[in-house]
């Protein structure tokens, strides 16, 4: 029906209504009511149509404003991070892993830890880069070449910023402008550059800057900004349909899965943290079902320098991975690749789950924010297995149509019987994960309790749901008991004493329990050595090291990104978390906000325990120990997804994903030691 007909119907309907009110007795009422009803039905239809058109028009305007906002934001970020900052290239040779730092200060200002940029230098790498603030605001630089007693060679420093003449120190004459300040026993210049021999652990030089202003190429800058805005428009326009129900998640996960497969295929054997002990433990279960004797000579190769075997820690990962590896060997895969294939396939299952289920996409969102998570699925390690089962548990919790919900509601005999068995085993495996997953287990039960007691979802089945949950927990504890019983069946109830005995026999001198404290490795028992917690946090930079190893450090923690990369990830992550938790606290209601507080409290507790362990037991600032926070965030988003604006969530998530892909490819894949194919 056209616009003219719509207007005619509206006019006639209103005219009839007025006529009826003015002279009801002059019309044959039955005929009038029939005619008026006919006009009224069409009037309502026309009115709905006009409302829909108005809503669509408003939605289109909102979309256009959103595209303009994103384009301006991306242009502003590009200008701030890449145009209005100084880019520094460094060529440095060090004898051991070390920190290279550059401090900056303005006129009449002192150097400060707040005004410092850092890269981690390694003997295997020579070239580095980092960003400094606007060169116009810098009067002088303090350059710390390394932080150990010994020699390092600085070959080149080059500062570049648009609109300013480059500042380069590469020749003998240029390097002599560096003024020695402190802890430098000797410095000399030869063909390799400036050789620095330190007298302590804090050698540094000072460089006074006199930057020369050059003309800005505004045309080239405007052209780049237009190109960035055009790219933003194309991406939003082309990928717009994928935003509905988070359909973009499986698309991105498929690309990430391809990167994981490449990493697993090209990286050489034992190129990843502790992979050799994981692989050895996995190989044992190819032909065995029960745990081994602790002092069995055939498993001695599974013991690490700590004198500890992964076969003795109670995890079931090695049983599953071992049987899968035996199956994979039937396809004559490379020997180094078959132990990794199990974790690769686990990520593939996450991908398939997100293709089929909208709530799985919600849980998978936090798994996309860091390449360190993807990295765990590319080699043989139990951390990937733990993340996978935490992912499954989180999906079961937030999906109202999941097997867990149907089981608790008693919907059909299949859900009752299969649910008890399948979910009980799943819960038992979750109980058997590493100790750092205990906060996740606590949050899982907290959210499940909130669903049963504080919402109407189980209003009629509350008592039955509690009984079934108790049964499910008992089955899970039974699985845990079977695993512990198998250990005691094989090794007896003095199993722990046998483990300590093997540690005393096989551990390296640095890690042996019988070694005197002053002869143990320097990373052990910092608290007992007199180191304060403040020194661990400030001097050892525990939080920074944990953060970096959570967002992109590869190999045996020797392959890392630039400080600029970590800064971009840091602020992108802060913006994402502020937006997410701000949305939950403002609009999530009492229950949603309460769960957010609980998640933050459990996450803070996990971070605190990890910090204390590094201080009191073994200094290991590894971000993967904090990864149980990710499925907790997935549960929290699944609970509060209705109050979190999806469009802005995608906006804040996109930089994290893009930075992660960059790090995985250009830091991880390119620099990882690779298999030599003959």
Based on the domain organization, do 465 and 501 belong to the same domain? Answer: yes
pLDDT for the residue 3: 57
Based on the domain organization, do 90 and 49 belong to the same domain? Answer: no
* Residue 525 counted as domain residue: yes
Note the pTM of the prediction, 2 decimals.
0.80
pLDDT in tens, 459-507: 777 889 999 999 999 999 999 999 999 988 888 888 888 888 888 888 8
Closest Cα to residue 388, out of 364, 405, 362, 369? 364
CA distance 182 to 189: 18
CA distance 562 to 118: 8
- The full length of the chain comes to 678
Based on the domain organization, do 659 and 568 belong to the same domain? Answer: yes
For residues 119 and 128, is the Cβ–Cβ distance under 8 A?
A: yes
Based on the domain organization, do 138 and 57 belong to the same domain? Answer: no
Token pair, residue 295, equals: 């002092």
pLDDT for the residue 103: 94
Strand-strand pairing, 204-208 and 193-198: unpaired
Based on the domain organization, do 656 and 521 belong to the same domain? Answer: yes
Separation of CA 384 from chain center: 13
CA distance 193 to 198: 16
* Residue 405 counted as domain residue: yes
Domain limits for position 193: 86-208
Average pLDDT, the chain: 87
Based on the domain organization, do 51 and 179 belong to the same domain? Answer: no
In which band, very low, low, confident or very high, does the pLDDT at 34 lie, cut at 50, 70 and 90?
very low
Hey, is 291 helix, strand or coil? coil
Evaluate if residue 285 carries a pLDDT over 50.
Answer: yes
313-337: average pLDDT:
90
CB-facing half-sphere around the CA of 338: CA atoms within 13 A? 18
For residues 83 and 225, is the Cβ–Cβ distance under 8 A?
A: no
Domain end point (choices 208, 233, 264): 208
Evaluate if residue 12 carries a pLDDT over 90.
Answer: no
Closest Cα to residue 630, out of 363, 446, 283, 415? 363
pLDDT in tens, 515-567: 998 888 888 999 999 899 999 998 888 999 999 999 999 988 878 887 778 88
Domain end point (choices 208, 234, 257): 208
Based on the domain organization, do 436 and 291 belong to the same domain? Answer: yes
* Residue 219 counted as domain residue: no
* Residue 371 counted as domain residue: yes
Based on the domain organization, do 523 and 470 belong to the same domain? Answer: yes
The one-character DSSP state at 268 is P
pLDDT for the residue 93: 94
CA distance 635 to 362: 8
* Residue 34 counted as domain residue: yes
Angle at 369 between CA 368 and CA 374, to 5 degrees: 55
Q: Which residue stretches of 365-460 are H helix? A: 371-376, 382-398, 403-409, 413-431, 438-454
Count CB-CB contacts under 10 A for residue 188: 8
In which band, very low, low, confident or very high, does the pLDDT at 4 lie, cut at 50, 70 and 90?
low
CA distance 594 to 600: 10
38-67: average pLDDT:
60
Based on the domain organization, do 173 and 46 belong to the same domain? Answer: no
Based on the domain organization, do 39 and 95 belong to the same domain? Answer: no
* Residue 235 counted as domain residue: no
CA distance 634 to 371: 17
In which band, very low, low, confident or very high, does the pLDDT at 612 lie, cut at 50, 70 and 90?
very high
pLDDT for the residue 49: 58
Closest Cα to residue 374, out of 473, 257, 292, 459? 257
Based on the domain organization, do 204 and 275 belong to the same domain? Answer: no
In which band, very low, low, confident or very high, does the pLDDT at 32 lie, cut at 50, 70 and 90?
very low
Closest Cα to residue 319, out of 392, 468, 428, 214? 428
pLDDT in tens, 344-376: 999 999 999 999 999 999 999 999 999 999 999
* Residue 234 counted as domain residue: no
For residues 210 and 165, is the Cβ–Cβ distance under 8 A?
A: no
pLDDT for the residue 28: 45
Count CB-CB contacts under 10 A for residue 557: 17
What percentage of residues in the chain have a pLDDT greater than 90?
53
pLDDT for the residue 296: 86
In which band, very low, low, confident or very high, does the pLDDT at 31 lie, cut at 50, 70 and 90?
very low
Based on the domain organization, do 458 and 318 belong to the same domain? Answer: yes
pLDDT for the residue 45: 58
pLDDT for the residue 19: 55
* Residue 597 counted as domain residue: yes
Quote the number of domains for the chain: 3
Residue 550, φ and ψ in degrees, nearest 5: -95, -15
């Amino acid at each position: 029906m056209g616009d003219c007909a719509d207007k005619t119907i509206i006019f006639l309907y209103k005219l009839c209504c007025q006529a009826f009110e003015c002279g009801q007795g002059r019309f044959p009422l039955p005929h009038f009511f029939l005619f008026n009803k006919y006009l009224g039905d069409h009037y309502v239809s026309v009115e709905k149509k006009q409302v829909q058109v108005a809503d669509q028009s408003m939605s289109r305007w909102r979309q256009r404003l959103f595209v303009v906002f994103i384009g301006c934001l991306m242009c502003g970020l590009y200008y701030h991070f890449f145009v209005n900052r100084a880019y520094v290239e460094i060529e440095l040779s060090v004898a051991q892993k070390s920190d290279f730092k550059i401090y900056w200060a303005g006129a009449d200002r002192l150097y400060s830890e707040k005004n410092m940029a850092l890269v981690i230098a390694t003997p295997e790498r020579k070239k580095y880069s980092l960003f400094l603030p606007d060169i116009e605001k810098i009067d002088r630089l303090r350059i710390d070449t390394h932080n150990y007693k010994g020699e390092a060679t600085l070959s080149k420093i080059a500062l570049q910023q648009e609109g300013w003449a480059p500042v380069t120190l590469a020749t003998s004459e240029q390097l002599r402008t560096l003024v020695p300040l402190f802890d430098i026993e000797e410095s000399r210049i030869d063909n390799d550059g400036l050789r620095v021999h330190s007298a302590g652990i804090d050698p540094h030089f000072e460089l006074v800057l006199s930057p020369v202003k050059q003309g800005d190429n505004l045309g080239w800058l405007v052209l780049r900004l237009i190109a960035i805005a055009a790219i933003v428009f194309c991406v939003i326009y082309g990928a717009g349909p994928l935003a509905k129900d988070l359909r973009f998640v499986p698309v991105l996960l498929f690309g990430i899965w391809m990167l994981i497969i490449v990493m697993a295929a090209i990286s050489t054997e034992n190129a990843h943290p502790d992979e050799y002990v994981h692989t050895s433990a996995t190989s044992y279960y190819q032909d065995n079902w029960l745990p081994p004797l602790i002092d069995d000579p055939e498993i001695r190769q599974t013991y690490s320098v700590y004198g500890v075997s992964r076969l003795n820690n109670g995890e079931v990962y090695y049983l599953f991975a071992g049987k899968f590896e035996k199956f994979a060997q039937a396809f004559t895969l490379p020997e180094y690749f078959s132990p990794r294939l199990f974790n690769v396939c686990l990520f593939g299952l996450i991908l398939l789950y997100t293709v089929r289920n909208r709530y799985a996409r919600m849980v998978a969102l936090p798994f996309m924010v860091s390449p360190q998570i993807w990295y765990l699925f590319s080699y043989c390690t139990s951390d990937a297995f733990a993340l996978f089962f935490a992912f499954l548990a989180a999906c079961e919790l937030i999906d109202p149509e999941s097997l867990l919900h149907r089981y608790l509601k008693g919907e059909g005999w299949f859900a009752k019987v299969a649910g008890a068995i399948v979910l009980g085993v799943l819960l038992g495996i979750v109980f058997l994960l590493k100790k750092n997953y205990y906060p996740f287990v606590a949050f899982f039960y907290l959210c499940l309790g909130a669903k049963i007691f504080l919402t109407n979802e189980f209003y009629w089945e509350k008592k039955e749901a509690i009984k079934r949950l108790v049964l499910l927990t008992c089955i899970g504890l039974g699985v845990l008991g079977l695993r512990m019983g198998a250990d005691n069946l094989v090794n007896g109830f003095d199993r722990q004493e046998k483990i300590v005995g093997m540690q005393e026999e096989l551990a390296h001198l640095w890690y042996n329990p019988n070694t005197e404290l002053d002869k143990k490795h320097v990373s052990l028992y910092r608290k007992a050595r007199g180191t304060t917690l403040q020194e661990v946090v400030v001097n050892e930079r525990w939080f920074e090291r944990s953060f970096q190893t959570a967002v992109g450090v590869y190999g045996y923690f020797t392959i890392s990104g630039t400080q600029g990369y970590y800064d971009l990830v840091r602020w992108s992550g802060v913006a994402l978390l502020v937006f997410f938790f701000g949305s939950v606290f403002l609009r999530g209601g009492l229950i949603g906000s309460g769960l957010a507080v609980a998640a933050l409290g459990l996450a803070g507790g996990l971070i605190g325990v990890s910090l204390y362990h590094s201080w009191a037991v073994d200094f290991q600032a590894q971000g993967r120990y904090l990864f149980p926070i990710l499925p907790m965030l997935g549960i929290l988003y699944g609970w509060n997804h209705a109050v979190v604006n999806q469009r802005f969530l995608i906006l804040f998530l996109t930089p994290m994903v893009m930075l992660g892909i960059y790090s995985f490819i250009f830091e991880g894949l390119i620099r990882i030691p690779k298999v030599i194919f003959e």
